[in-house]
Structure 1
């Protein structure tokens, strides 16, 4: 099978923009809880306090008036460099209320990356969290002629801007808002990219609307129990399209939206326990970490064996349910159901409590979740709906069908979308959620300025309410890239995979395929996924291009490692000096490597590995904000260590 498509489920947005839903919900259900925030300055601690739809609309309107008062106009771009905070949501909808565009920037960006995005996007203002960010912007703003403002959240910029716009009539905001068209750009999101310089993806109001409306119509029943208002805790970086989509989904769907600025499991788990979401949107690494934490807590309490037996039953139970849902089996046997019910009381309920206790369905994106982990979680009462997409597809372009997930795949095309497998196995996609093109390219500057001047002249010197249909916004015409935008509207994703009864299986990235010196092609994803299944291993990078065999760089989970060392000291040989802790750790990791090698041929197996001294991180530029490894950056930084693997 090379092609599969699904008919559309919703009509595309025909008029207006994303901000309309804020004011419409406030008019229809003013008392509906819309946002939840905490008392601390950055929203990371304290009790949750709800904000109604009416109060949210008032905040958005007040800030929009302030932006107009400070000279932000129709089509202007404002960069927002912040973690996932309540203020991000208010700023984005205030910008959309006046026809401006949001340019999310990761707060971990280096000065060079920051300068590139601000310059390439021609942002007129930037919002930062604190003084350190403001100083970083100040260090790179020389020569940025379009940048006029730096606003700081912890200096009270939201309140200051709202006060600045107090005398602006609210009709001015609505005059801009009604001029917004669906095909205009809502956000310019720069691809985090594992290689190369980021490019700005112009995501339109229509792209985000059809993506979110499709999820609400087709998957809304999974967001919470019938009659219950869904509650979603947003913690994914808002600089990533996945995080942006979750924000828009909640506002359009009338869900309660909470914000958690830190994504580390030690900070995330307490937030989940207090917020108690009804559904969870995350990346596979979060689920891997949560599962490892649950296993570790079970071992610490002396229930490690019980946990392992319970998860074995959970996996078998989920396999039987999956086969039945796909018409290939009769479901769990009576005996399996009985054992599953026993472990429900003893183990599964406690595992779900880590996610707050109200979550039975979760969504995974960013990369593929392993089939083994998906089955184990599903059997424990947490069904993972894995999806697949890119920045260019406004997050998901495929998703698991409700009630019929096939674990180990990324589901079928979203309603209205299609998937095609090219001759070289590259995955091509198309649909209304696919972006119109890249923006901010340097070679289009003169053309951009001419278009902007023409619009301003046509509107009496003010920013015009509409751009040309092919630009979608003022200031930077969209330029589809011929390497990605293929014939007949297909987008080449750069990923390789195949279709199985309409379900898409991703096997790796075209550019990541390793060719050994013996000519063997190795897709590293399958090995890396299997390695991360071991509790100790946090990250895995397989190498071997032009080498005689495959090797791996591995990092260990600090919390699990500490627990492992304590266990070895307590339960190891009676004479502590009779064994070497480092050698024991090496043997344990070797067992994980041997287990991973069972899923590939001998020629593709890992022959050598190195345990790194610490985890790869965003701060050192080795991990993208969606927690993917930057292969090129890692292999360059650790070139000497990789050479040692082949010099032995």
Structure 2
């Protein structure tokens, strides 16, 4: 199968813009809890309670800020940048800007001065919202060559209140006049790619792109977001400067979903927020689910229940696989004995995993990269079905999703209704549909969608009964000096499945064999040293972790992880050597994008000497 498509679920958007939903919802259901904001508690925001905000109250704050923007000189169609972590204010500013017909320009809060300068220059931003003094200093290092930048607003110095006060004399009708002038083809956002394989590119996302994306998901998947009769509640913690995070915010406000915000996505801050907010559905990236599983495993081992946990994991995989076969019409489903084992494991193990997400979540959405089939089965068997999807900034987030009640784990689902997939002769995935962006900011003529509407994604994969399987990035495919072609994704996913491994990067371009760079999870390493069956109290006299000695037992443990990864590929594709690095790849050290993808080129350059040693 080389091409697959599904008919659209929703009609095209013929008029209006994204801000209209805020005003329409407030007029229709003024008392609907639309957002939830955390109050300051004794231990800071982490301990604070969530306070609901009605649709009418949010509409009033959007309108007041929009008036302030007009009073401060923002005009229809002008680009305004936002450089901040995910927050209520991010959502407030985006809807206020859309209310006056302005364009939102996304800037990652971790951007360097040079990155900020390039984005503001290419977008022609006339103003920028920054979160704090640190961001203001980054901007100050870049803005000397930005003549179009007229305004800088800083969130932690009260810019929202100041703008709201300045807008008091402006008539409400002035905002509505601007809002009514917005058309579906108007640009809503200039969203910059995360720069996995090169400099970020600004994608022109229209109001119609975001509206169709969110309306399709609400029409076809809303029943998965909450139990019948319950208002869905979603905690936004993905970066809103990324298309995935921004789409989640728009989806909530178009669909009457209760929306909360969590600025810090690190597990130690996110997990308490999930427990207190108690979402009915979670939108995340595979990294979050991998960390949740790893923490659950460590907790079980600390309590002396590791064997029970591992038995429950096997039961979950078997149960989910049998249920998957029944849903797809290829098997009878779980048998009586398996159902009994699962019920017992649910009481002893699974309910603890569900409690990490607040206890109400039964379905989650994973995007940004592919979740492994094994982990998808485990979560599903534990009562949390993972609906894996696939998309790009250029496709306004998801372009595929698992069908309701029929997920096929290890794939990224089928095309969204109204979208077509095509597999080119070289295996590259092409997509076409109404959510494809209008082009790039100052893009070259050969970039963006082809004249016939197809967008080449740069990803390689294949179709299996309409389900898309991604096998890697076209640019990431490794060709060894012996001519072997290796897609690193499978090996890297299997390496990360080991509890000690945090990240892995497979190398071998123009080399005689495949090798890998491996980083360790610091918490898992500490836990292993304390509870490991043979590593407890061992010395660290042999081997090395990038210049730091480690125990031979630890190296044997990673050897086992490599052997498990190699079992999925041929001998010619297998990892022959590896190096354990002392530092994890992160956004802060420039080795990961803000959407938590590896910057392969940057890693290879940084560790060139270590890679050379693997082939010495």
Is 2:6–2:419's contact at 8 Å kept on the other side of the alignment? yes
How far does residue 558 in structure 1 lie from its aligned partner after superposition? 1.2
- The number of residues matched between the two structures is 607
Q: What residue number does 1:613 align with?
A: 582
Give 1:240's aligned residue. Answer: 242
In structure 1, which of residues 133, 136, 139 is the aligned counterpart of residue 135 of structure 2? 133
Q: Which of 489, 501, 515 matches 1:551?
A: 515
Aligned to 1:285: 287
Instruction: Work out whether 1:598 is the aligned partner of 2:600.
Output: no
Pair 1:316–1:147, CA change in 2 (3 A): same
CA shift, 1:486, in A, is 2.5
Mapping 1:382-401, distance limit 5 Å: 382-401=384-403
Structure 2: which 5+ runs fail to align?
543-549
Give, in angstroms, the shift of residue 577 of structure 1.
Answer: 5.8
Q: Is the 8 A contact 1:516 1:550 kept in 2?
A: yes
Equivalences for 1:439-458 in 2 at 5 Å? Answer: 439=441, 441=442
Decide whether the 8 Å contact of 2:439 with 2:448 is kept in 1.
no
SS of 2:141's equivalent in the other structure is: helix
Match of 2:604 in 1: 635
| Secondary structure at the counterpart of residue 438 of structure 1 | coil
Question: Please, which runs of 5 or more residues in structure 1 have no aligned partner?
Answer: 442-478
Q: C-alpha separation between the residues in 2 aligned to 1:82 and 1:96?
A: 18
**CA distance 1:303–1:23, change in 2 (3 Å):** same
Counterpart of 1:450 in structure 2 is none
1:541 match: secondary structure: strand
How far is the alpha carbon of 1:575 from its aligned partner? 7.9
Q: Contact conserved, 1:43 with 1:260, CA < 8 A, in 2?
A: no
The one-character-per-residue Cα deviations of 1:148-184 (angstroms, maximum 9, x if unpaired) are 1111111000011100111111111000000000001
Q: How much has 1:236 moved relative to structure 2? A: 0.3
Question: Within the alignment, does 1:57 sit opposite 2:98 as a pair?
Answer: no
Report the secondary structure of 1:236's partner residue.
coil
Deviations 1:520-547 (A, max 9, x none): 0000000001111111111110000000
Determine the structure 1 residue equivalent to 2:493. 529
2:351 pairs with 1:346: no
Instruction: Note the 1:8-87 alignment, pairs <5 A.
Output: 8-40=8-40, 46-87=48-89
Correspondence for 2:525 among 561, 565, 571: 561
Q: CA 1:638–1:275 in structure 2 vs 1: closer, same or farther (change >3 Å)? A: same
- Return the alpha-carbon distance in structure 2 between the equivalents of residues 57 and 324 of structure 1: 46
| Structure 1 residue matching 2:551: 3-state secondary structure | helix
Give the equivalent residue in structure 2 for 1:361. 363
Matched, 1:584 2:586: no
For 1:337 and 1:516, how far apart are their aligned partners in 2?
Answer: 47
Question: Are 2:338 and 1:336 aligned?
Answer: yes
- 1:438 alignment partner in structure 2: 440
Residue in structure 1 matching 2:164, options 158, 162, 165: 162
Q: Deviations along 1:468-515, whole A, 9 cap, x unmatched?
A: xxxxxxxxxxx5742442341100000111000000001011100000
Q: Deviations 1:79-123 (Å, cap 9, x if unpaired)?
A: 100001110000000000000011111110011101100111111
Question: Could you tell me how far apart the structure 1 residues matched to 2:447 and 2:424 are?
Answer: 14
1:238 Cα deviation from its structure 2 partner: 0.7
Q: What is the SS of the residue equivalent to 1:588?
A: helix
Mapping 1:451-466, distance limit 5 Å: none
Match of 2:545?
Answer: none
Q: In the aligned structure 1, how far is the partner of 2:403 from the partner of 2:131?
A: 39
35-44 or 23-32, which moves further after superposition? Answer: 35-44
Kindly state the Cα deviation for residue 38 of structure 1 after the two structures are TM-superposed.
1.3
Q: Deviation of residue 312 (structure 1)?
A: 0.2
1:380 Cα deviation from its structure 2 partner? 0.4
For the residues of structure 1 that align with 2:321 and 2:3, how far apart are their CA atoms? 27
- Going from structure 1 to structure 2, the CA distance change for 1:124 and 1:45 (only over 3 Å counts) comes to farther
Inter-partner Cα distance in structure 1 for 2:170 and 2:46: 33
What's the offset of the Cα at 1:198?
1.3
Q: Distance in 2 between matches of 1:576 and 1:265?
A: 29
**How far 1:594 sits from its partner (Å)?**
0.5
| Structure 1 residue 489 corresponds to structure 2 residue 489 | no
Shift of residue 195 of structure 1? 2.4
User: Closer, same or farther in 2 for the Cα pair 1:422/1:169, shift >3 Å?
Assistant: same
Distance in 1, Cα, partners of 2:422 & 2:461: 10
The separation in 2 between residues aligned to 1:100 and 1:481, in whole angstroms, is 26
Query: Does the aligned pair in 2 maintain the 1:43–1:259 contact within 8 Å?
Result: no
